[in-house]
Amino acid sequence: MSFAPSTTSVKLVLLGEAAVGKSSLVLRFVSNDFQENKEPTIGAAFLTQKCTVGDRTIKYEIWDTAGQERFASLAPMYYRNAQAALVVYDITKPASFIKARHWVKELHEQASKDITIALVGNKYDLVADDNDSDDSLRKVSMEEGKALAEEEGLLFFETSAKSSHNVNEVFVAIGSKIPEAKPVTEELGSRPGNVGRIDLSGPALRSNLSDCAC
């Protein structure tokens, strides 16, 4: 098997408060599966998934980080050199939205300048039926989410890992914002001079590794 020449590897990191559904979003995207009580992630979990965007294939290398505050000191290791980030909150938990704001700020300050960030309000299934009623479980309005996304220049989605609502859409949207023939090796990716420059060595190197049998 060999990758089409247009396969792009994208390092993506998920950040957000504990129990907002980061791992569940990834599980839905990678395995199209859902588990009601998924064990808390410790440190970070690594997963991969391919995704077709237009005429090219994006291969996501996903770092799904743990949400608890104590593990936050590990986060820079994972968002360093990431080309994309999903900042996830739970639309029924206002605290998680505040936390999301914090992560966006940290990414803008610390991560690579051209990182593509998507703000994701998860657990849409909990409010899908009673969006307008007063006793809705929704605690963060879609407008609040959109406003933050516009302010910070982020993609924005409300998703449900449980119902799979909008999950693939997030990854497709990120994929289409990732420039073609993006440098994929970590060293190159972090070098500011490479921003926007077409770098042929990156993808070629990666596909050589995968095709080493030939």
- Point out which residues bind other proteins (CB under 8 A): 17-19, 35-48, 61, 66, 68-74, 77, 93-95, 98-99, 101-102, 139, 186, 209
Q: Which is nearer to other proteins, 16 or 175 (CB)?
A: 16
Residue 102 Cβ, how far from other proteins at the closest point, in Å? 4
Residue 111 Cβ, how far from other proteins at the closest point, in Å? 17
Residue 185 Cβ, how far from other proteins at the closest point, in Å? 9
Q: Which is nearer to other proteins, 38 or 56 (CB)?
A: 38
Residue 21 Cβ, how far from other proteins at the closest point, in Å? 11
Residue 117 Cβ, how far from other proteins at the closest point, in Å? 17
For 11, phi then psi, to 5°, come to -85, 120
Helices in the chain by DSSP H: which ranges? 22-31, 75-79, 94-110, 142-152, 167-177, 186-190, 201-210
Q: How far is CA 7 from the centre of its chain?
A: 18
d(C-alpha 92, C-alpha 90), whole Å: 5
d(C-alpha 62, C-alpha 174), whole Å: 13
Structure tokens at 37: 């009580």
Beta carbons of 63 and 82 less than 8 angstroms apart: yes
Q: Which is nearer to other proteins, 38 or 177 (CB)?
A: 38
Q: Which is nearer to other proteins, 17 or 158 (CB)?
A: 17
Q: Which is nearer to other proteins, 3 or 71 (CB)?
A: 71
